[in-house]
A and B are shown apart, each in its own frame.
Chain A
Amino acid sequence: MLRSGEVISKMRIERIDLQNYRQFRNVSINFDSSTKEDLHVIVADNATGKTNLLNAINWCLYGDEPHLSKDSQQLPRLNLNSLLQADEGTKVTVSVEVLTETEGNRITFKRSEDYVVHKDSNQPVLRDIDFTITYIDENKNAKWVTDEEAAAYVERFVPRDIREFFFFDGERLDTYFKSATGQQISNAMFRISQVDTLNRMSDRLEGVVNDLKREAGKRSPQIEQLRDNIEGKEKNRKEVVKQITELNGQKEEARGKIDELNERLRSIPDIEQLQTEQAQLNETSKKKEQIRNDKITEKQNMLFEFGILLKLYPSLDKSSLVIQDKVANKEIPQTYDTQLLDNIISTHHCICARRVEEGSDAERHIQKLRTDITSSSIIARELLQMIGPIEQVKKKISTFKSSLELITREIQLYEEELDGLNQKIQSIHSQIGGYNVEQIKQWYSELKNYQNIHDFNIERITSLKFAREKLDKEITDLNQDLNKALEKEAVSQKLRHQINFGNKAYGVIGEVVQTMMDRVRNDIEKETKNSFFNLIWKKETFKDVYIDDNYALHLMHSLGYECLGSVSASERQLLALSFVIALHNVSGFDSPILVDTPVARVSNEQRENLGKIFHQISGNKQLILLFLPTEYSVEISNTLDTCASSMRKLRLTEDEREIQVEVLR
């Protein structure tokens, strides 16, 4: 029996009746639980009503169709055959009825729309909308509620804000924790921990207490002034809190994008860094190549120079030997001092004191002697002077071999170094070669941008939190001043007491909100962890699952690193399912899970594992799975064929406007 205000704790869908709803002209699908597992399999091709069954449940309960395809959006909700076959002006009703069972009681949700058909228009005219819930009350009488009251009942079944954790597209499971998820998770927690209700209470109580203060302030401008100040500060505080929430959302969105980009770039090298490295290597290679070329020129010059010297070597060697021989044999004439003879000629006096007459034989003799001595001395001196350079050249020639070896070795070393550099350049070229460099650069640029946004938001949040603390203190101080003023102005004892009481309650509600958020987060974290480690087939690979202060979920590898982005699609889906189950358990909204295309992104090998997981979950909870025929492969059907309570196949009629249900089990 359903009492007012009661939250339905455990519910299952018994049957869905669809009348004239899109391709479902007249279809009933039973979800009898004949086995101990409450698992139901529906197989259907694309565009054969699978996703519209998900839409039908959403439309019945909430009045919208969140998973509608673009094609379906163009069509009326009314079944096309019903529309075409109806007479002009007749009324045709579209309805979806979800019959549920909760702890022995039956509750039926029914939404219907009445249309009037006009042949000259493609769209029927909507005349009436109705949403009704029928149930059995505590006196066992059938009761019904409609419209707003009915919508409030749905909130006790599956609250609208968290319906995405009950009826969802399986492909989303894989991407569930990838983007903006902290915000989604915190929204869900806000909803299930009734924090939205508590926050509403807090706002309303604040308004009412402010009214009381305003009433008290009528008697004193000082009180009025203080009240205005407090209201102003509280308004500022709300604005700061709003900004913190928004920035947290942006920060989490950036974090999601960072994770997504990191995952995309995980196996891709850092192209920009490689290109920088390649440019540096090219530069080094160019410099080394220049040095190597200079050395080659040096070697060529050396070979040219030594080539000449080597050709001259025998002659030089022989000359040197001849001169040295002549010196040894004293065959080289002595060198004489010609100064003495020059003096005799110029002074006309001999060293023997006799006069040497000008033009005399003596003078001619002395002059001839001087000429002879000069010639022999020059020759002797030049011969002797040749020995030094010849020996130097010979010495240089003797170093030729070692100099040649040295420069050849140097060139060889530069060649080797250049080969190494070229190999590195080539390797980088091959690494970059297979990728769309511009696209990758774009991803790296986006990554950097999101990292900046993330870090900037952290700084802004820290500064705003500081501002919030400052405002909190100011509000507390002003409230104390207000209390003193109220006492001084002899405001009625009763009114002051009510203001104090309201303020006190306001503070307690704030503490309750924080405690509830923390508790719910801890409980969901614990339950997610339990479910995940209970269900995961790789028992040693993972170490921990936790939800951080920003409500982002983390999966830790046993080696200590964060691995949510790198695990397989099936492991990520399992984590998402574990989170969904935890959310159901902690919230108390223990309703069915309906998943469209549950294993579309999962490899065949992993489907077997997920099949076993679905089997286990269905032991405690109703599970309705909508598969594509290709998705329902042997790996998963091997498990589910044996344990499913019911199996259906949806088929389109030949005109493709109606769906027929084939009962396989």
Chain B
Amino acid sequence: MPTTNIAKQIYETIRERAPNDPPLQEFISAILKWELDSKGTFQFKENYRQRIRLYASKWGGDK
């Protein structure tokens, strides 16, 4: 995981922008991590679909 202030700020901002919505926060953080780790060169569609399926199943709907 990135350890810079910027990276910390991004995660903080995700939490701020999706308050009380852990599945949404976790989903965005997960795809961000995947993009940063892998530079997201290959198979992004499958990776995104997989994570949407996973986190949408925990999601209670628009708040």
Interface residues of A (CB under 8 A from B): 4-7, 9, 152, 192-194, 197-198, 200-201, 204-205, 207-209, 211-212, 497-498, 500-502, 504-505, 508-509, 511-512, 515-516, 519-520, 586-589
Contacts and interface: CB of A to CB of B under 8 A. Distances in A.
Given A200-B40, A208-B52, A504-B24, A192 B59 contact: no
Interface in B17-47: 17-18, 23-24, 27-28, 31-33, 35-37, 39-40, 44-45
Contacts of B35: 197, 200-201
B41 to A, nearest CB: 8
A512 B44 CA distance: 21
Given A5-B1, A5-B37, A508-B18, A207 B45 contact: yes
Instruction: Please report whether the interface of chain B is mostly helix, strand, loop or mixed according to DSSP.
Output: helix
B61 A5 contact: no
Contact of B17 (A192, A201, A501, A511): A511
Given A501-B59, A512-B28, A192 B13 contact: no
Interface string B1-15: 111111101100110
Contacts of A5: 1-2, 33, 36-37
Contact of A198 (B16, B32, B48): B32
Given A7-B4, A208-B45, A501-B52, 15 more contacts: A5-B1, A9-B4, A197-B32, A197-B36, A198-B32, A200-B40, A208-B52, A498-B52, A498-B56, A501-B23, A504-B24, A508-B18, A515-B17, A516-B13, A588-B3
Nearest to B53: A498
Instruction: Please report whether the interface of chain A is mostly helix, strand, loop or mixed according to DSSP.
Output: helix
A507 B59 CA distance: 16
A5 B36 CA distance: 7
A208 B6 CA distance: 27
A516 B5 CA distance: 11
B28 A508 contact: yes
Contact of B5 (A6, A211, A509, A586): A586
14 contacts: A5-B1, A7-B7, A9-B3, A198-B10, A200-B40, A201-B31, A498-B53, A501-B52, A501-B55, A508-B28, A512-B10, A512-B28, A516-B9, A516-B10
Contacts of B4: 7, 9, 587-589
B7 A515 contact: no
Given A501-B59, A502-B52, A511-B17, A7 B27 contact: no
B36 to A, nearest CB: 6
Pick the most buried of B4, B16, B39, B45: most chain A CB atoms within 10 A of its CB: B4
A209 B56 CA distance: 12
Contact of B27 (A198, A207, A501, A587): A501
Nearest to B55: A501
B16 to A, nearest CB: 7
Given A198-B32, A516-B10, A505 B45 contact: no
B13 A520 contact: no
Contacts of B37: 4-5
A97 to B, nearest CB: 25
Contacts of B32: 197-198, 201
Nearest to B44: A204
A480 to B, nearest CB: 12
A204 to B, nearest CB: 5
Given A205-B48, A501-B56, A515-B17, A194 B6 contact: yes
B4 to A, nearest CB: 3
Contacts of B45: 204, 207-208, 211
Contacts of B1: 5-6
A511 B10 CA distance: 11
Pick the most buried of A194, A498, A509, A512: most chain B CB atoms within 10 A of its CB: A512
Contact of A515 (B3, B16, B23): B16
A519 B13 CA distance: 10
B20 to A, nearest CB: 13
B6 A508 contact: no
